[in-house]
Structure formats: structure tokens, C-alpha cells
Amino acid sequence: MTANTKFPHLFGLGSNPALPYDLAFRLLGHPVGRQSIAASYAGIDDVMRAVILEADEPGALQELAASPRTPTGVRWTLASHPDLWVRVAGLRSSGPDELPGCETPDELVAHIAADPEVRKLDYLGRGFPLAIKMSRAVDPDPGVRAAMAGTWADPPEEQRRAFLTDPDLRVRLAALGNAWRWDIPADLVGALLANPATRVAVAGRVTLTPEQARELAHDEDEMVRRVAAASSQLQDAYRLLRNDPSPRVRLALLTQEELSDEQRVEIWEELDAEGPRHDGERRYPVRAGVDMMWAHSSMMEWLRTAPVETRERHARSPLYFIRCVAASQGDLSLDTVIEMLAEADQFDAQVIAVCHAERLPGHVLRKVVEAYGESMKLHPPLTSMPQFPAEAYDDWITRTSPEDAELYYLAAKNGTHAAGIAEQLAVDESSSLRSAAIGQASLSTSTLERLLADAEPYVAQAAAASPRLPLSAMHKILADAGL
């Protein structure tokens, strides 16, 4: 939860699972308290909701509308509120977390969806019932049709065709941007490729024919040639595009199955060495470009889906992104994986280890984290694996120092430590470590209360939300706020 910078204690207290009802009711006397109770208090009842409704504050009402604990009748009331974002918030609650009696019925969704101000909010379309989706898909306003075309995950084929042949370009482009979820009808591909406005979008969403790939390889638009360069259907790709003036095209060419390791290395080194622009910046950030390319597209599908024996061979490629794709299925032999980790750099090692995290021994996971840290972008976190050795946290917290920030923080966050270490964390210069100390059961309540005065709002808020906070401290928070 985001920290409330002005009143962190009140906001944190509302989410404290140990907060007694009478104190929670007193907390309703403050606007931040009302918002926090609406968002987080598990014991909220109709009396509390009536107080929040009477106060009529958009922030608290948005939380109330979005809460899975809000009864259906209250949802109907909020769906007619004059504030747009209060009305819309009711759609956020719809889902399996809703409690009995708190469901968001289709009739209520239809009521909110019919709101003229809501019609063009494209991100809302995902949760609409089929009847509403069908109605919006043929709305006379192309902005509404485009919003639905860009969010509907599984439209019927006739509706896909309607989106992709819509007279308004915005609708066609929105549909193409969403088409990774569904197949584009084959008989529409030719017309979409023929139109320069939709060519790039459709070329990257379909399997091209060899003739189409060759034609696109000569297109004047570098982004179209980039798609062709990565197409598995482009024959003789190296000869056609090896000397293309665009670095993006040559970068995509690296993904072609027909290239040898020597040819890939040759192109890679050329891209990496290309001179600066007139403003002193590099022409193209080759490493960042490759990271984005292999991780976020279907390029190199030939390698992702190759037999494990083929991927074992490519796992020894001199180029890190080839090794990463070869490892992406998580089924390489452990000997190969450990050999790859021994020669990897940081990103390479993190990807390889995460892909095989369920199978790697705990001591290997620990070694990777100690050498390269833990990526916040890759899942699952290596330290979350059940075989990760708990003793690593004790070692890191005692043998490293706060200057070794990442290991020290991982140890503080994940480990269970003695009182002395918890107290040490609570006075550290790093607010992240002070926050981690709050989760330690060995931390004294007096120190926990002291952290209520922390200069960093999210630390103070976390202290107020701790179920170990003494009742006397809860009373003091309310008294200090005049409650």
C-alpha cells in the first residue's frame, strides 16, 4: 500500500489486523482514517459504512466501492455518485475475492458502463459482460469501438473481423495491438499488409508467407524490415539484410535460425562498436535492444520450441541472449545449467537460474544471489524457493555489512533474526532496513513504538500497521490526532 505522507500513522492503523473495533470507529473521525478503514479494515460494518457515506469524500468512497467487503446495495448507491472515479471504482471490485452478499451483478456493471463519461475508458472493457462488450463493439463512436477492440481478450471471430475491417483506423490499430491474444483471419492479412498504416502492426502478429517476408524485407520503413528480418519465413535473410542501414533491422537479424554463431557475433560486435551520434549518444543501445527483443516478443520461437538437445547446443552460444532463450524452458540438464552459471554475467545468470529455479539445489541458488543479486523483474525470486537455505540469511546478516546493501536487505526482509540484530536493523540509516525490522518478531515493542516517529512515512505507516503494536500506542495515535 502506498504511504500516506501527511498522516502515515492513521493510514497504517486502519490496516492493522489487531485494531479493536472501538478504536477503528474512533479512527473514522479523520478523513485519512475513513479512507484507511474503507480500504483495509476487515471488521468494517454497516454503521462504519454509513459514516463513510455521510462524509462523502471521493478518496474514501473510491476505496469503499473497490472493496470486496462492500455489500451490493452500497455498490448501487456508489454507482450513482457524481464523482466519475467513485462510480468507476465499483468495477475494480468485480471478481472472485468478493464476499457473499458483496457481488457486483451484471446489471450494476451495465449501469456503470452506460455512463457517458465511462464509455471511453478503455481499460474497463476487460471485465464487462458479453452483452455490454457486443454493444460497445458496434457503438457509433469510433473511440468507444477502439477502446473495446484494444481490451477484449476473446471476441468471437465475426467481431474480430469487424474490428480489423472497421472504417476507422484507430479501431483497426487497437485491434491489431490486442491481436497477440487471438488469431487474425488469414483472408484479412493481405489487405492489412497492403495498407502502410497497418502494415507494421499486422506483420508482427502473423506468420508471413515466404513471398510476403521477402517483399517486406525491401520495405522503406525500417520497422517493417525489422519484422521481416526476424521472420522464420524469410529465406536467405543474411544475404538480404546483412548490410541494412538500420541497426534495428540488423539486430532482429540476429534471431534468424539460419545464422551461424560466427555471423551473429560479427553483427553483434559491429552494432556494439557503431559510432556515436552528433549529440554524443550511442547510435543504438544494442544490449538494451536485445533484452527487449528476446524477452518481450515471439522472436526466436524456433529456439524456444526446439528439442532439448538443440537447446543444449545453443546454451553454449557466445551470445548471452541466445543462451537465455535456450534456457527459457527450464529443462536443460543440471550439468549444463551449472556450467552456464559458472561462465555467465549478471543478467545471464539471473535468467538461467530463475528458469531452472525449481530444479536447482539450494546452495546453487544461494551462490547465484551472492554473486549477482536478485532481480526484481524476474519471477519467481530465487529466495522464495522452498529449497533456498534459511541459514544464508543468518550468514548474510552477520558476515556482511549494511554497505553490502542488497544481501543485507534480503537477509533483513526474509530471515528470522535474534533480538540484537532486529534492534540493529531498526536504527540503521537505510529506511528499507528499518522497515524490514518491523516484521521481526524479536523486535521489542518499545522500539516498534519508536519507529512510529520515523522520518520516512512508509516506515512509520508500517509500524502503525504492525499487529504487535501495543494497545496503548494505538490509543496515543488517536489521541494525538484529536480522536
**Measured distance CA(195)–CA(174) in Å, rounded:** 15
Q: What is the pLDDT of residues 382-425, one digit of tens each?
A: 999 999 998 898 888 877 666 667 888 888 888 788 788 889 88
Say if residue 188 is in the same domain as residue 217: no
One domain, residues 312 and 384? yes
For residue 405, with 0-12 CB atoms within 10 Å meaning exposed, 13-18 middle and 19 or more buried, which class applies?
A: middle
In degrees, to the nearest 5, what angle opens at C-alpha 169 toward C-alphas 166 and 175?
65
Task: Output the CA torsion 310→316→320→321 (10° steps).
Answer: 0
Let me know whether 165 and 243 are in one domain: no
Q: Among all chains, which residue has been given the C-alpha cell 502492426?
A: 201
Cβ(34)–Cβ(49) under 8 Å?
A: no
Asked whether residue 85 is domain-assigned, the answer is no
Whether residues 289 and 224 fall in one domain: yes
pLDDT tens column, 23-50: 999 999 999 999 999 998 989 999 999 9
Q: Please name the amino acid found at residue 215.
A: E
- Residue 284: the pLDDT is 43
Query: Which of 288, 293, 290 lies closest to 267, judged by CA?
Result: 290
Domain boundary among 206, 230, 264: 206
User: Alpha-carbon Rg of the chain, whole angstroms?
Assistant: 28
User: How many CA atoms lie less than 13 Å away from 65 in the CB half-sphere?
Assistant: 26
For the stretch 149-195, pLDDT in tens is 988 888 899 999 999 999 999 999 999 988 777 888 999 999 999 99
pLDDT of 97 reads 66
Q: Give the separation between CA 317 and CA 30, rounded to whole angstroms.
A: 62
Within-domain flag for 246: yes
For helices 169-178 and 196-203, give the axis angle rounded to 10 degrees: 10
What is the distance between the alpha carbons of residues 461 and 456, in angstroms, rounded to a whole number?
9
Residues 167 and 235 both lie in one domain: no
**Is 267 domain-assigned?**
yes
**Is there a single domain that holds both residue 187 and residue 230?**
no
Tell which of 358, 389, 420 closes a domain. 389
Write out the residue range of the structural domain in which residue 329 sits: 300-389
Burial of 190 (0-12, 13-18, 19+ CB in 10 A): exposed
Residue 273 in this model has a pLDDT that exceeds 70:
yes
Q: Which three cell numbers stand for residue 449?
A: 513504538
Within this chain, do residues 202 and 168 fall inside the same structural domain, yes or no? yes
Classify residue 266: in a domain, yes or no. Answer: yes
> Do residues 315 and 354 share a domain?
yes
CA–CA distance, 389 with 427 (Å, rounded to integer) = 27
Q: Residue 96: is its pLDDT beyond 70? A: no
340-393 pLDDT, tens digit each = 998 888 878 888 999 999 999 999 999 999 888 888 888 889 999 999 998 898
Q: What is the DSSP letter of 98?
A: P
Read off the pTM: 0.71
Residue 308, all three cell numbers: 532439448
Domain boundary among 242, 266, 295: 295
**Is 322 found in the same domain as 272?**
no
Residue 339 lies in a domain: yes
Question: What pLDDT does residue 463 have?
Answer: 95
Over the stretch 315-352, which tens digit does the pLDDT of each residue have? Answer: 988 888 888 889 989 999 999 999 999 888 887 888 89
Structural domain count of the chain:
3
How many other CB atoms are there within 10 angstroms of residue 387's CB atom? 14
Q: Residue 282's pLDDT is what?
A: 42
The residue count of the chain comes to 483
Angle at 149 between CA 144 and CA 152, to 5 degrees: 110
Cell for 242? 546483412
Phi and psi at residue 263, in whole multiples of 5°?
-65, -40
* Residue 329 phi, psi (nearest 5): -85, -10
Residue 348 C-alpha cell reads as 545471464
Question: Does residue 331 lie within any of the structural domains?
Answer: yes
**197 and 220: one domain?**
no
